[in-house]
Structure 1
């Protein structure tokens, strides 16, 4: 084919048919340009298909991350639910509406200091965001919802506030509390090499008297409010999580 065009070009020149040669040359240039444009378009389509495939894989990864978050949320709901129930039980004992053993009250009270945190599993989201692949999602509202979900921090903030409140309790101001009772919560102390401190099996603090102290009651009431807020945020976060996961699945199924 190339030889044919070369021969045709030489023939036109030899016959001094300049005008026809110019038309031919322009036509040849146009054909070359069209060929280049077609090649570029094919390459663009290939790259776009490749980016769509990567985006879909990352969305599947986001779904997996959301599932891990739900498992963590389920754990935290159970954990902070127990704390909330324990504080309520202590306050009911204070009001004389329930009667628990000193061991039970001590366990409920010391549970309030064992806070847990929550962090998003956002590796795949960071890849989407950092690689500017969110714009490859045809459903723009879905892309915005993903950004909104990973930008929200209300759950993390409520847990941080709980930690600050729990850590802020000053045992030095409560003379009725025996500090060694904190050691009785964790049998792991027994695994420390050369561990010799004997703390006994029962709490030595009289928690029925301890919870009568105003600073203790104020602490428990404040922590109860915060633990309830944490629990509510966990519920809201889980609902948002599941809704986003379902929307991603519908998008992938299209």
Structure 2
């Protein structure tokens, strides 16, 4: 393009009369002006190409980070699936204990003991947000063309209702005082696995039998109140897991739709 402008300029110079000194000055001025214009045009073209190059590079980085968020969301779904099954079992176990108390079910003492001790186990949940933190910290999150999508991503990672409900469950499960429950035999607490931790990553390993008579144990008001309170919280956790999973899948689909454009 610059060569084309240069040829046009040379043609115009050639067409100027060369017989007079004034025309020679004009010729030089036109030549100088032409050179300046060519330099400016060259700079503008170079700037435009550089801008396009940077925009393409930025677009690729955004796409990679969005794919990273999708991968994180997939990992979260796997964790949520586990927690749904886990807290679903706890909820069902507490309901089973209460049905025994009401005389509507009849479980063995071993089954009731397992249901009861399961309530003291809990699992936490943390978002897989490494890619989001990188995205947000780089400032590129605001550069997504679909501003609604960037807002949805920020909202998703800002909500903590699931984490809070799990924290509350942990607090409630840890609040039960065995010392104030005379019907509970302390030896039953010692039948857990040798590697038992306060926040275990495995099921409790109990003995083949319990010394505690759980059918009598659950009749104590403080035990009954504890179980009812924990049941409400476990149901809240279970519902939050379901809501969180739906939000997770919706966001993943929105990201995929944006990437497919």
* TM tier relative to shorter chain: 0.7 to 0.9
Could you tell me the TM-score, scaled by structure 2's length? 0.85
Match of 1:64 among 60, 67, 71: 71
1:216 and 2:223 correspond: yes
Post-superposition shift, 1:35?
A: 0.8
Instruction: Give, in whole Å, the separation in 2 of the partners of 1:53 and 1:200.
Output: 57
Q: Which moved more, 1:24-33 or 1:96-105?
A: 24-33
Report the CA distance between 1:30 and its aligned residue: 1.8
Q: Deviation digits for residues 152-211 of structure 1, max 9, x if unmatched? A: 10000000010111111111111111223123232647xxxxxxxxx9531111111111
**What is the match of residue 20 of structure 1?**
27
Picking from 39, 45, 48, the partner of 2:52 is 45
Of the three residues 208, 216, 221, the one matched with 1:201 is 208
User: How far apart are the structure 1 equivalents of 2:28 and 2:59?
Assistant: 46
> Aligned pair count?
236
Offset at 1:38?
A: 1.0
Q: Is 2:237 the partner of 1:230? A: yes
Structure 1 length normalisation: TM-score?
0.87
2:103 counterpart of 1:96: yes
Structure 1: how far apart are the matches of 2:48 and 2:238?
53
Residue ranges of structure 1 left out of the alignment (5+ in a row): 190-198
CA RMSD across the alignment? 2.0
Deviation at 1:26, TM superposition (A): 2.3
Q: Name the structure 2 match of 1:192.
A: none
SS in 2 for 1:205: coil
Q: Please give the alpha-carbon distance, in whole angstroms, between the structure 1 residues aligned to 2:33 and 2:134.
A: 47
List aligned pairs for 1:3-18, cutoff 5 A: 17-18=24-25
Q: Does 1:185 align with 2:185?
A: no
8 Å Cα contact 2:192/2:207 also seen in 1: no
Contact 1:184–1:201 (Cα < 8 Å) also in 2? no
Aligned residue in 2 for 1:194: none
Stretches of 4+ aligned residues off by more than 6 angstroms: none
Segment of structure 1 superposing worse, 19-28 or 65-74? 19-28
Q: Which runs of 5+ in 2 are unaligned?
A: 197-205
Matched, 1:139 2:139: no
Aligned residues of 2:113 and 2:210 also touching (Cα < 8 A): yes
Cα distance in 1, alignment partners of residues 67 and 212 from structure 2: 53
Are residues 1:172 and 2:179 paired? yes
**1:62–1:125 contact (8 Å) kept in structure 2:** yes
CA distance in 2, matches of 1:157, 1:200: 33
